[in-house]
Structure 1
Amino acid sequence: MGPFETDRLRLRKFRADEFETIYRIIYSDPGVYAMYSSVGGDFAAAQERFMQAVYQPGNSEFGRLGVELKEEQILIGQVHLDPHVWTAPDFVVNGSAPFGTIEVELAFAFGREYWGFGYAYEACTRMVRYAFEELRLPRLVGGAMLENERSVNLHERLGYRLVRNPDQRDVVGWITILENPGQEKR
């Protein structure tokens, strides 16, 4: 997967020496990791999860990419496509997916100092294009905490449909679904 470029960004594989930067801008800031990861604030646990996600031999279609500003060559966040076995109730995903369906989640996290500039939208738009045009996925799913207004707004701007999550009201309050407009629904 990747590398990809947008007007301002390069989405590319992580280099081995970049975990400390990602830890500093994402996993050490409670305002960022609280909306994204259960291992934030724990260097060893975050490093283990990061390394498992970044180094997945034989899984080149999915995984995690670093997002950097092209001109400055500064790492500002990460985006990833993660396959999951979907366990949400059938009706939440439009009544067409049985329990155990494999779905792909588009997830993202950016350092707080890079919020409000449209970088997440730009990176996620490129990932959606890759998922739908190159991988030909029928849809992307995701989740957002109720209090994470930025994530909710981004999902809506990308065209996701938001549905209240009946199973995890205190954790992930919204299930987000983005159908591929180029494919028939399953």
Structure 2
Amino acid sequence: MNNPVISTERLLLRKMTKEDTGNLMEIFSDPVAMRYYPSIKNESETMEWIEWTKNNYDKYGVGLWIVEDKVTGEFLGQCGIVPQEVDGVMEMEIGYLFVRRVWGKGYASEAVLAWKNYGFEILKFNRMVSLPDVNNVPSTKVAERIGMQAIKTINKWGKEVYVYSVSI
């Protein structure tokens, strides 16, 4: 399947393309949405992000996907599985970042749950993690909502992050 899609009750998740640059800029140029990232991103950095994501597709068979409203096609954010090093071990992280205008509507939890199921059922992973900033309460709640548990904190990206984990 060249262009797989994950469908949930309200969402359509699909692979990222260069045409998503403008949509991603809605997140990356928002200092509030990017509060737990090192900085906002300009268009060039956003295009590098898309290339990084596409390289993850090719190298690892996973990556962040675009999340859209199933009915309207409206861009809502990005969510997917990203390889991350945790204490010297390569882990598969479920990552997520949504536009601020849709925060609090349950889209992140719905998309993350879809990826959890996809990771276990289709990709046959035994374990996945999420790495939210220790101060990012909404992201920790999303991880907890899908059955992840905080197992430790680590220093990554120059800050303290929780390691949330879920296994089959």
Q: Normalising TM by the smaller chain, what interval? A: 0.7 to 0.9
Distance 1:80 1:39, change over 3 A: farther
Aligned structure 1 segments of 4 or more residues deviating by more than 4 angstroms = none
Q: Is the 8 A contact 1:40 1:46 kept in 2?
A: no
Q: Read off the aligned partner of 1:18 and give its amino acid letter.
A: D
Equivalent residue number for residue 112 of structure 2: 124
Equivalent residue number for residue 97 of structure 1: none
Distance 1:156 1:45, change over 3 A: same
Structure 1 window deviating more from structure 2 (53-62 vs 124-133): it is: 53-62
Q: % of aligned pairs identical?
A: 25
Equivalent residue number for residue 16 of structure 1: 18
Equivalent residue number for residue 80 of structure 2: 80
For structure 1, the 5+ residue unaligned runs are 88-99, 181-186
Q: Is the 8 A contact 2:6 2:114 kept in 1?
A: yes
Q: Give the TM-score of the pair, scaled to structure 1.
A: 0.80
Q: Deviations over 1:64-121 (max 9, x none)?
A: 210000111111100121123332xxxxxxxxxxxx3321011000000111111111
Equivalent of residue 137 in structure 1, options 101, 125, 128? 125
In the TM superposition, residue 55 of structure 1 has moved relative to its aligned partner by 5.0
Q: Is the 8 A contact 1:30 1:41 kept in 2?
A: no
Distance 1:31 1:139, change over 3 A: same
Q: Read off the aligned partner of 1:23 and give its amino acid letter.
A: M
Q: Give the TM-score of the pair, scaled to structure 2.
A: 0.88
Distance 1:20 1:55, change over 3 A: farther
Q: Read off the aligned partner of 2:76 and give its amino acid letter.
A: I
Q: Deviations over 1:36-85 (max 9, x none)?
A: x3352333223212222135563473012100001111111001211233
Equivalent of residue 161 in structure 1, options 133, 144, 149? 149
Distance (whole Å) between structure 2 residues aligned to residue 119 and residue 166 of structure 1: 27
Q: Read off the aligned partner of 1:28 and give its amino acid letter.
A: S
When the two chains are superposed, the root-mean-square deviation of aligned CA atoms in Å is 2.2
In the TM superposition, residue 31 of structure 1 has moved relative to its aligned partner by 1.2
Equivalent residue number for residue 58 of structure 1: 58
Equivalent residue number for residue 104 of structure 1: 92
Distance (whole Å) between structure 2 residues aligned to residue 86 and residue 170 of structure 1: 13
Tell me how many residue pairs correspond in the alignment: 166
Distance (whole Å) between structure 2 residues aligned to residue 8 and residue 41 of structure 1: 28
Work out which of the two has the higher radius of gyration on C-alpha atoms and give 1 or 2. 1
Q: Is the 8 A contact 2:11 2:67 kept in 1?
A: yes
In the TM superposition, residue 14 of structure 1 has moved relative to its aligned partner by 2.3
SS of 1:32's partner is coil
Equivalent residue number for residue 7 of structure 2: 5
Distance 1:27 1:169, change over 3 A: closer
Q: Is the 8 A contact 1:143 1:172 kept in 2?
A: no
